[in-house]
């Protein structure tokens, strides 16, 4: 079920109405008649921020055969360290290091395995996802879809407190995510799996306000420090001063592991493979017009020059 396929025009402008029964479908997901709370939540969410959103195409994926070491380490945390101390992972690196491609590739893999809780990809140029106004509403709606055990609790949380949809990030997280999770966990015969899924927040540095970046982090830190929730959190960003300051604080002590996209993961090897594969594809597609070009093209030395100039940055 794809959040990005929902129809934002459904019930737009409607007021003073009730639905007495039945089921209705908003393209990608079916809503029961009593789930007006989820519909309201959708109206306050960003459908362009999730991992498979049409607005994000072409999606930034890892080139096949690259970034395998970092993906292996992340999957080790996800699948082998479910109940370990680190409920938060911070993946950081400079612009162009491939953070969003890694987050995208991981999100797709987790979604296929039904281990993705939710995702939110910040982007500075999109007003629906360059701030925190719709961050936790979007995540809450995805949680309701991914985890059926949460669905009724989130729906009721919205109905009981509609003002939370436009409240502070602290109130939104508490009302739309934390309290419904705790209520579902404490419900009789609860089957909600704890820490089983992954919440991905990519590009936190592209949230326009540095103070808000810290507020988001401290909200998450408080929750992960004090409660066993149905998800763990992966955050990617540049190592901006305010973000690094937050991760260095006592709030993240003992619950967060830092992962740097530095020479440990040998980006130059991945960049070399990417260049070789892409030049090979260029030659294949234009073989007839490039018959006069001397082979090999490009030469190994030319590729090494490009690898060196890239300085570990895929954006080069």
Residues 27 and 59 in one domain: no
Q: What is the pLDDT of residue 222?
A: 98
75-111 residue pLDDT tens = 999 999 988 999 999 999 999 889 999 999 999 999 9
Domain with 306, as residue range(s), is 267-310
Helices 135-146 and 36-43 sit at what angle, rounded to 10 degrees? 140
Would the pLDDT of 14 be above 80? no
194 found inside a domain: yes
Inter-residue contact 2 to 42 (CB < 8 Å) = no
Q: What is the pTM of this model?
A: 0.83
200 found inside a domain: yes
179 found inside a domain: yes
Q: What is the pLDDT of residue 18?
A: 44
Residues 167 and 192 in one domain: yes
DSSP three-state, residue 244: helix
149 found inside a domain: yes
280-299 residues labelled b (16+ CB within 10 A) or e (exposed): eeeeeeeeeeeeeeeeeebe
Q: What is the pLDDT of residue 113?
A: 96
3-state DSSP percent of the chain in helix, strand and coil, to 5: 50, 10, 40
Would the pLDDT of 256 be above 70? yes
Residues 261 and 281 in one domain: no
Residues 33 and 141 in one domain: no
219 found inside a domain: yes
Residues 124 and 224 in one domain: yes
Distance, in Å, from the CA atom of 5 to the CA atom of 312, rounded to the nearest integer, reads 36
Residues 277 and 295 in one domain: yes
Residue where one domain finishes, among candidates 265, 284, 300? 265
31-60 residue pLDDT tens = 776 899 999 999 999 999 999 999 999 999
What percentage of the chain exceeds 90 in pLDDT? 70
316 found inside a domain: no
Residues 132 and 210 in one domain: yes
Residues 258 and 271 in one domain: no
125: nearest Cα among 22, 55, 73, 76: 55
Confidence of residue 305 (pLDDT cuts 50, 70, 90): confident
In this structure, what token pair is assigned to residue 274? Answer: 């990417």
Q: What is the pLDDT of residue 22?
A: 46
Q: Would you say the C-alpha torsion 199, 204, 209, 212 has a positive or negative sign? A: positive
44 found inside a domain: no
Average pLDDT of span 270-287: 84
Would the pLDDT of 11 be above 80? no
Would the pLDDT of 247 be above 60? yes
Residues 83 and 60 in one domain: yes
Tell me which of 34-38, 106-110, 234-238, 247-251 is least confident: 34-38
Residues 256 and 171 in one domain: yes
Confidence of residue 30 (pLDDT cuts 50, 70, 90): low
Would the pLDDT of 72 be above 70? yes
305 found inside a domain: yes
Domain containing residue 251: CATH number = 3.40.50.300
Would the pLDDT of 8 be above 80? no
Residues 91 and 110 in one domain: yes
Residues 168 and 273 in one domain: no
> How many domains does one find in the chain?
3
């Amino acid at each position: 079920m794809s959040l990005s396929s929902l129809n934002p025009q459904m019930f737009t402008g409607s007021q003073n109405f009730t639905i007495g029964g039945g089921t209705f479908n908003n393209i990608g997901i079916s809503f029961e008649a009593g789930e007006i709370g989820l519909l309201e939540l959708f109206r306050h969410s960003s459908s362009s921020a999730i991992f498979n959103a049409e607005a994000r195409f072409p999606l930034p994926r890892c080139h096949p055969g690259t970034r395998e070491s970092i993906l292996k380490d992340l999957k080790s945390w996800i699948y082998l360290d479910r109940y370990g101390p680190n409920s938060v992972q911070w993946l950081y690196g400079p612009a162009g290091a491939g953070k969003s491609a890694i987050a995208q590739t991981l999100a797709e893999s987790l979604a296929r395995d039904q281990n993705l809780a939710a995702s939110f990809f910040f982007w500075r140029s999109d007003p629906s996802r360059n701030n925190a106004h719709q961050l936790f509403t979007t995540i809450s709606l995805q949680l309701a879809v991914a985890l059926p055990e949460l669905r009724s609790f989130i729906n009721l949380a919205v109905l009981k407190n509609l003002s939370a949809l436009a409240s502070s990030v602290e109130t939104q997280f508490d009302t739309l995510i934390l309290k419904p999770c705790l209520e579902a966990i404490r419900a009789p015969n609860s089957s909600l799996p704890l820490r089983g899924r992954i919440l991905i927040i990519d590009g936190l540095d592209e949230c326009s306000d540095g103070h808000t970046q810290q507020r988001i982090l401290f909200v998450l830190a408080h929750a992960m420090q004090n409660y066993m929730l149905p998800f763990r959190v992966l955050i990617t960003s540049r190592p901006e001063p305010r973000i690094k300051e937050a991760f260095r604080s006592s709030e993240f002590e003992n619950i967060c592991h830092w992962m740097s996209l530095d020479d440990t993961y040998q980006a130059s090897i991945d960049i070399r493979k990417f260049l070789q594969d892409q030049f090979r594809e260029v030659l294949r597609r234009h073989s007839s017009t490039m018959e006069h070009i001397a082979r090999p093209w490009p030469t190994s030395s030319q590729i090494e020059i490009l690898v060196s100039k890239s300085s570990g940055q895929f954006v080069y």
